[in-house]
Structure 1
Amino acid sequence: MIPQEIIRRKRDGDELDPADIRSFIAALAAGQLSEGQIGAFAMAVWFKGMSREEIVALTLAMADSGDRLQWADIDRPIADKHSTGGVGDNVSLMLAPIAAACGLAVPMISGRGLGHTGGTLDKLESIPGYMITPDAELFHKVVKDAGCAIIGQTGALAPADGRLYAVRDVTATVDSIPLITASILSKKLAAGLETLVLDVKVGNGAFMADRAQAEILARSLVEVANGAGVKTSALITDMNQPLADSAGNAVEMRNCLDFLVGGKAETRLQAVVLAFAAEMLVKSGIAASSGEADAMARRALSSGRAAEVFARMVSMLGGPADLVENPERYLARAPVEKPVPAGRSGWLSACDARGIGITVIDLGGGRRHPKDRIDHRVGFSELLPLGTRVSAGDPIALVHAADEAAAEKAAAALAAHYRITEEKPEQTPVITGLV
């Protein structure tokens, strides 16, 4: 295999043979390619694209570049969900235990915050003692005994993806649908999944702000995953406002625990969580219809079984056994908590969800550089949904900050991210499509 020949052929728009793709990715994983060669390959793909067959070959090669998890001793369907990322998107935290309580095994490998979006791992690290990188034996045990485990990617899973992504990040090739598809799915295939449900977000708080592009990405992910042998579907969901009524880390963990004990009924967040639970159960054959699956998920929630699964997962991964019962004992609070007043009377008609995510980062709740330390205490809670009527001075959120100056700055920024009008806005559905 001559790397520059593969790069040249892709640069010229040729379709690559699967064997050449496997050889290139094997060399990448083995450290035999220069960063220049990796960057040139990524840029050639960015400009020329890939056929469906090429993307499948790339995904499989990246999945095979490291370990593949095995679940032969678990007699439950192995299922997972992945989100393309948003603001206040803590769905995974509640979805995994609900799905596990209904009979699925959910080995969920999650990530940290990326850009303006929050990361599931950063939220979990607000729990004292929680291990996000357990060894393979413990990870397997937690999935088997608790039903689910939410952890971070290890270096042994799809290592080629890690090196390719690091180069893409500095060569303006992140937003390539073939490369996004292979990056997401290679890790999921390496996790040994049988079924997968994808949350492709669209709106001003998503990486895909354009509906047409979101649909293209959703179709690519679904077709490639199914082509690689994993039963997959995707829901397209709205990200023109924060999904939960909190944005941050510890504040979203409190939101999660409140949800698991029934505190977030009839919200947009509940609608998304239950929709994904139902899709996972039907896809895995646990339920025969969406209606049956929805009823199962609701029972898992209302009976307390989902909360019990979550508590067991946290305890087995090193966290406190009584977190669900006593969250305030363990989740740190910011020194300053202040209401954010509405600037005028009217209806909350629109917001800049991406701007809200950036404001959380400004508070210290996210990273500007990979090595930045996160302040897990900060963020926003009690965010009012769009379509709410407010009077001037009414709180539209509560800011959690490290000091008074940071609180004042964040409150002013958040207020500026909302538009208040005299006319009531039309309500948009939170789930806008299925692929």
Structure 2
Amino acid sequence: MRMVDIIHAKRSGKELTEEQIQYFVDGVVSGKIPDYQTSALLMAIFFKGMTTEEQSTLTMKMMESGDHLDLSSIHGVKVDKHSTGGVGDKTSIPLATVVAALGIPVPMISGRGLGHTGGTLDKLEAIPGYQVEISEQDFIKQVKKDHLAIIGATGNIAPADKKIYALRDVTDTVDSIPLIAGSIMSKKIASGTDALVIDVKTGAGAFMKTLEDSKALARALVDIGKGVGMQFMALITDMNQSLGNAIGNSLEIEESIDLLKGNGPADLEKLIVTIGGYMAVMGDKAKTTAEGQKMCEEVIHNGQALDSFEAMVRDQGGDPNVVNDPNGVLPQAKYQIQLPAKTSGVIAKIVADEVGVASMLLGGGRQKADNQLDYSVGIVLNKKIGDKVESGEPLLTIYSNREEVDDIKKLLYDNIEVADTAKVPELIYTTIE
């Protein structure tokens, strides 16, 4: 068997066999298949797609390429959440701490940023000392102690995905349903969790731009989850504008802390409480989602979720002072530059992916796989879709370590529309169970 023949088969629109997919995954893990051939197959999959059977086979082979965590020693229903990625989407961090505060174990294995979207691990690494790579034994020990740990996949958890993930980011093959499904589910199945909620983003700032594509991805994920006997559901939520106000690693950690103090953006808290309600039911702590949502609101506003976050940060080597003094602990940008509105009216459009690109160009995201991130930079929105604005009033603030940001200003002006009226997008479109 030759890799070039597998590439040719998929490029020609043929369905890959189990043996061909196994050969590909084995070659990625061993390093026998060079990056340029892996990238060629990823591009062929991007254009030609995969059947349901191919998607399931790719997922399982990627999962089987490494170890399977045994979390049976952790008491209770292990519940996890994953997002398909969006601009300003820091949901996983405060949500995990909220659910853990309910006494539900949350063993969360997360990823880094892809393209214009931020990654949970990148945000957490903005906290000095925070370790996203810990041993399996320490991972289990911490979940037992804190009901929570958020880490990256170890070298032995879905190692094929770890290599493919990095190449997808720099070959523009991120927004492919079979590749997204395989990446998410191979890690989540291998992580040994019992129940999983997937937040499938849709719109300009998401990898799935249309509701139809988002539903197709959600169904693919649900089918794979049910196929392995996992409690599973998916929500489809909006990403036509960024979630919350902050975009950028340190800025998003600070906003997460604000939320856990009861002062977060309304859209972010609504999404966290909604998803948390489902996770509370899955974790056998609530009988209905409404009851679960009420429990989530309580732990946010009584400080228990903040305590849960502080414990996780401390036990993973991070500086717990970030809770009380985020500005003193987190990296800070040298310049804060406001972007004034050119006209008065109502914010009608904020193209989320382009705002994400602006943050990336400031240094907050990766243009190449080996790029070093500047955790301090980013953007904080002062206005969201539907908000009134006066001429000269700041639309947003640019956090930068370079004083001259005319290129960023132009990109942002080109992608923010002020009009007489606006239609505010829904936050949550539907659920698929």
Fold match by TM threshold 0.5: yes
- 1:105-144 equivalences under 5 Å are 105-144=105-144
Secondary structure of residue in 1 paired with 2:269: helix
CA distance in 2, matches of 1:278, 1:418: 34
The residue identity in structure 2 corresponding to 1:264 is: G
CA distance in 2, matches of 1:319, 1:35: 34
Distance 1:175 1:255, change over 3 A: closer
CA distance in 2, matches of 1:286, 1:383: 37
Question: Which residue number corresponds to residue 397 of structure 2?
Answer: 398
Question: Which residue number corresponds to residue 178 of structure 2?
Answer: 178
Does 2:413 match 1:431? no
Please state how far the C-alpha of 1:320 moved relative to its aligned partner: 1.8
Secondary structure of residue in 1 paired with 2:292: helix
The residue identity in structure 2 corresponding to 1:426 is: K
The residue identity in structure 2 corresponding to 1:320 is: D
Question: Which residue number corresponds to residue 373 of structure 1?
Answer: 372
CA distance in 1, matches of 2:18, 2:73: 32
Does 2:421 match 1:420? no
Please state how far the C-alpha of 1:278 moved relative to its aligned partner: 1.2
CA distance in 1, matches of 2:334, 2:38: 46
CA distance in 1, matches of 2:394, 2:178: 44
Please state how far the C-alpha of 1:119 moved relative to its aligned partner: 1.6
Distance 1:346 1:46, change over 3 A: closer
**Per-residue displacement from partner, 1:278-303 (whole Å, max 9, x unpaired)?**
12222333322111110111111111
- Is 1:93–1:120's contact at 8 Å kept on the other side of the alignment? yes
Question: Which residue number corresponds to residue 334 of structure 2?
Answer: 335
CA distance in 2, matches of 1:48, 1:103: 44
Secondary structure of residue in 2 paired with 1:404: coil
Distance 1:4 1:416, change over 3 A: closer
Distance 1:136 1:204, change over 3 A: same
Does 2:270 match 1:274? no
* TM-score (norm: length of structure 1): 0.91
Please state how far the C-alpha of 1:253 moved relative to its aligned partner: 1.0
Distance 1:86 1:24, change over 3 A: closer
**Per-residue displacement from partner, 1:205-253 (whole Å, max 9, x unpaired)?**
1111122111111111111121122221111111111111111111111
Provide the identity percentage: 40
Secondary structure of residue in 1 paired with 2:285: coil
Please state how far the C-alpha of 1:340 moved relative to its aligned partner: 2.1
CA distance in 2, matches of 1:173, 1:207: 10
CA distance in 1, matches of 2:35, 2:420: 55
Does 2:87 match 1:90? no
Secondary structure of residue in 1 paired with 2:275: helix
Distance 1:173 1:85, change over 3 A: closer
Please state how far the C-alpha of 1:35 moved relative to its aligned partner: 5.3
- The runs of 5 or more residues in structure 1 that have no matched partner are none
* Greater shift in the superposed pair: 38-47 or 171-180: 38-47
Please state how far the C-alpha of 1:415 moved relative to its aligned partner: 3.6
* TM-score (norm: length of structure 2): 0.91
- Is 1:246–1:383's contact at 8 Å kept on the other side of the alignment? no
Secondary structure of residue in 2 paired with 1:161: helix
Question: Which residue number corresponds to residue 239 of structure 1?
Answer: 239
- Is 1:60–1:228's contact at 8 Å kept on the other side of the alignment? no
* Greater shift in the superposed pair: 59-68 or 23-32: 23-32
- The runs of 5 or more residues in structure 2 that have no matched partner are none
Distance 1:98 1:18, change over 3 A: same
CA distance in 1, matches of 2:2, 2:374: 47
Q: Which runs of 4+ in 1 moved over 3 A?
A: 1-28, 30-51, 163-176, 408-413
Task: Please give the root-mean-square deviation of Cα atoms over the aligned residues, in Å.
Answer: 2.5
- Is 1:25–1:65's contact at 8 Å kept on the other side of the alignment? yes
Does 2:222 match 1:225? no
Question: Which residue number corresponds to residue 71 of structure 1?
Answer: 71
Distance 1:365 1:35, change over 3 A: closer
The residue identity in structure 2 corresponding to 1:318 is: G
Please state how far the C-alpha of 1:171 moved relative to its aligned partner: 6.3
Please state how far the C-alpha of 1:180 moved relative to its aligned partner: 2.2
Distance 1:245 1:12, change over 3 A: closer
Please state how far the C-alpha of 1:260 moved relative to its aligned partner: 0.3
- 1:194-343 equivalences under 5 Å are 194-264=194-264, 267-343=266-342
- Is 2:235–2:430's contact at 8 Å kept on the other side of the alignment? yes
* Greater shift in the superposed pair: 30-39 or 101-110: 30-39
- Is 1:77–1:105's contact at 8 Å kept on the other side of the alignment? yes
Secondary structure of residue in 2 paired with 1:201: strand
CA distance in 1, matches of 2:123, 2:154: 18
Distance 1:361 1:144, change over 3 A: same
The residue identity in structure 1 corresponding to 2:280 is: L
Please state how far the C-alpha of 1:10 moved relative to its aligned partner: 6.0
- Is 2:347–2:386's contact at 8 Å kept on the other side of the alignment? yes
* Greater shift in the superposed pair: 277-286 or 183-192: 277-286
Secondary structure of residue in 2 paired with 1:344: coil
The residue identity in structure 1 corresponding to 2:291 is: E
**Per-residue displacement from partner, 1:106-140 (whole Å, max 9, x unpaired)?**
12122222111112122112111111212222222
